Amino acid sequence: MQNPTSPPPPPPPSSSSFSSTFFNLRDPKPKPTLILLYTFLFLSLLSLTLILYLSHSTIHTHSGPDPFLHPTHAHRLVFDPHKPSPPPPPSVAYLISGSRGDAARILRLLDAVYHPLNVYLLHLDASAPHTERELVAVTVQSNPIFKAAQNVHVVGKPDFSYPKGSSPVSLRLHAASVLLRLSRDWDWFVSLSADAYPLVTQDDLLHILSFLPKDLNFVNHSSYIGWKEARKLKPIIVDPGLYLSEGTEMFYATQKRELPSAYRVFTGSSFSILSRRFMEFCILGEDNLPRILLMYFANTPSSLSNYFPTVLCNSRQFNRTVINKNLLYAVQDSQRNDLRPLNSTDFDDMIQSGAIFGEKFQKDDDPVLDLIDRNLLGRSPRSVVPGGWCLGEPGNNTCLTWGDAKILRPGAGSQRLEKAIVELLANGIFRSRQCIYE
């Protein structure tokens, strides 16, 4: 345990450390002003890193983040050698993506899933005006906590993302490759849409994940293709997000095609928790399977819910790493082919489910979100969720006394999640539901 009355570490540096980075990956020729800006950003980051390096040369953090968020053991005041230390906490890479009008929801969701050990990439798709993207970037940049940890980034040059087509797969692969380059440290990739919200704190989540093998993938999947599924898989479509600069309708070919026989198609749902090793497998592509399936699914509707389950279950390396549950609480609307919005009536079921996230919530000021903040996350309005990394009260977007980011303070949420995961893994039952050919 740390002694909370200890002299607090100095506040995080607030000089020129930019917490958010604008990515312009598809722009081949940046304009001269941009080059200047980048040079300035690069130099200021470099000088900051140098200053940090010179003044704390014993601390091995790679470029940037405030060392007081990741202190070495020497900073621990009371160290009990008899108490077995828990496994080191893992880190999660989050893509948070939304569309026109989602800026407020994205920022609230970011606060609710924030932890200094994680890394975040925010994306507002091409249908949102640039001013909205700038608002998100400026808000992130002016938050002292994000600035200190330097782990929140905003995509400056957006992609289109149509829910039905293949552009959402392209967005996730793009984001995962950016996140792989941004940080060597994350263990799982989670893509949240703006209408999702957490049901446990990050301290709860990281605590439970720290006991699990890092190669597990949490993915709903089924190889059962009835007429309903076949009707969704056989049409041939072309996603306008891949070739038109204006948003339009999906292009449907008049003919349909047979289901593949070279591999088995698995259907699933669009949310999943994927391991870093699996994301590298999909992106680096030494094995051609992920690329072949990407090209096949490029012309099928709902490719996002089918792509990752199909790659996982058809690869020898990964078919035994899949858990057939994505730990997302969602309710299908039987009338429409979509999720039903959740409200406070669903609250008890959400808690009972032991899920990590819930989807979908309708507005950024939905009363059920306030209920979750109050009862599950301990989050006060407009601030991040408290955790072991912040010993003082987090208020006004600052943390009065920084702690060690690696010390987690799991609460009741970790017990719910532990129960759900123990049930999933008990007696190896999960094997009987793993990539089964039906």
Residue with tokens 């993207």, as numbered in its chain: 133
What values do phi and psi take at 294, rounded to 5? -60, -40
Look up residue 149 and give its two tokens. 């940890």
Whole-angstrom Cα distance, residue 138 to residue 319? 42
Look up residue 232 and give its two tokens. 């969704």
- Number of other residues whose CB lies within 10 A of the CB of residue 98: 25
Shortest separation between residue 30's beta carbon and ligand NAG, angstroms: 39
Shortest separation between residue 315's beta carbon and ligand NAG, angstroms: 8
Residue with tokens 């009355």, as numbered in its chain: 5
Shortest separation between residue 332's beta carbon and ligand NAG, angstroms: 7
Shortest separation between residue 268's beta carbon and ligand NAG, angstroms: 7
Which residues of this protein are in contact with ligand NAG, per CB under 6 A?
220, 269, 316, 319-320, 324-326, 330, 343-345, 393, 395-396, 434-435
> Among all residues, whose Cβ is closest to ligand NAG?
395
What values do phi and psi take at 140, rounded to 5? -65, -45
Class of residue 407 by CB neighbours under 10 A (exposed 0-12, middle 13-18, buried 19+):
middle
For ligand NAG, the closer CB: 16 or 332: 332
For ligand NAG, the closer CB: 365 or 393: 393
For ligand NAG, the closer CB: 319 or 337: 319
Look up residue 195 and give its two tokens. 């209408």
For ligand NAG, the closer CB: 130 or 320: 320
Q: What is the DSSP string of 76-106?
A: -S---TTSPPPPPP--EEEEEEE-TT-HHHH
Shortest separation between residue 184's beta carbon and ligand NAG, angstroms: 29
For ligand NAG, the closer CB: 255 or 334: 334
Shortest separation between residue 379's beta carbon and ligand NAG, angstroms: 14
Whole-angstrom Cα distance, residue 90 to residue 116? 11
For ligand NAG, the closer CB: 87 or 395: 395
For ligand NAG, the closer CB: 27 or 365: 365
Whole-angstrom Cα distance, residue 353 to residue 419? 10
Shortest separation between residue 358's beta carbon and ligand NAG, angstroms: 11
For ligand NAG, the closer CB: 56 or 164: 164
Whole-angstrom Cα distance, residue 98 to residue 191? 11
Shortest separation between residue 317's beta carbon and ligand NAG, angstroms: 9
Give the up-direction half-sphere exposure of residue 342: CA atoms within 13 A in the CB hemisphere: 27
